[in-house]
Chains A and B, each alone.
Chain A
């Protein structure tokens, strides 16, 4: 089974802090994704990566950055956390090719105070 591991299930930070969310997958997948999920808005793509050191902006990249130094690890960075970034953050990974599903981690519920 595919295993996608997010570093924290719950996280509380203060406004202005730099926040790191880590994601590791064990299936040698090329593709990794960061989403946020808010009630009524569904899943929104923040950033994704097709390869090591590669990154692409999703629909809502403002206020976020990412890092992919190793194939198995994809990090999401909130440069200066704000209260409107309070959300559920979901990491996913998927194999190459359009027929491959994405597999999700357990999610990180982040609260910015």
Chain B
């Protein structure tokens, strides 16, 4: 069973703070990792992908991957109220082609 675990939250941070979202996965055969943002009533939107150990930055977002510890995280700097959403972690395993395994998501609220 391939599992992807996220803290469901809700996570609340004040505007301007750093929001830290975490995801752990069970299978060391994992190859690719993705973060999606989902606003209430909308579909998931890709915001970051990461494949190698270390950090990857894109604007206010930083994805961090540690394959030895089997976790991937998303940092949101200078959080804005518009960042309030559910964040989904997705993992792609080496032998399942393009099939993803999703966490259940972390709900983030940024308080003005």
Chain A contact residues, CB within 8 Å of chain B: 30-31, 33, 40-43, 45, 48, 50, 90, 94-107
Contacts and interface: CB of A to CB of B under 8 A. Distances in A.
A103 B32 contact: no
A103 B98 CA distance: 12
Contacts of B105: 42
A104 B45 CA distance: 7
Contact of B34 (A33, A50, A90, A101): A101
Interface string B19-35: 00000000000011010
Interface in B54-84: none
Interface residues of B, number: 25
Contacts of A96: 97-98
A101 B43 contact: no
10 contacts: A42-B104, A43-B88, A45-B99, A90-B43, A98-B32, A99-B32, A102-B46, A102-B90, A105-B43, A106-B42
A106 B97 contact: no
A97 B98 CA distance: 6
A98 B97 contact: yes
A83 B36 CA distance: 29
A41 B104 contact: yes
* Interface-centre pick from B92, B96, B98 (highest chain A CB count, 10 A): B98
B44 interface: yes
A45 B100 CA distance: 9
Interface string B84-98: 000010101110111
Contacts of A107: 42-43
Contacts of A94: 98
A106 B43 contact: yes
A104 B90 contact: no
Contacts of A90: 43-44
B98 A98 contact: yes
B87 to A, nearest CB: 12
B103 A42 contact: yes
A104 B43 contact: yes
Given A30-B98, A104-B36, A104-B43, 18 more contacts: A31-B97, A31-B98, A33-B99, A41-B104, A90-B44, A94-B98, A96-B98, A97-B98, A98-B31, A98-B92, A98-B93, A98-B94, A98-B96, A98-B98, A99-B32, A102-B100, A104-B45, A105-B43
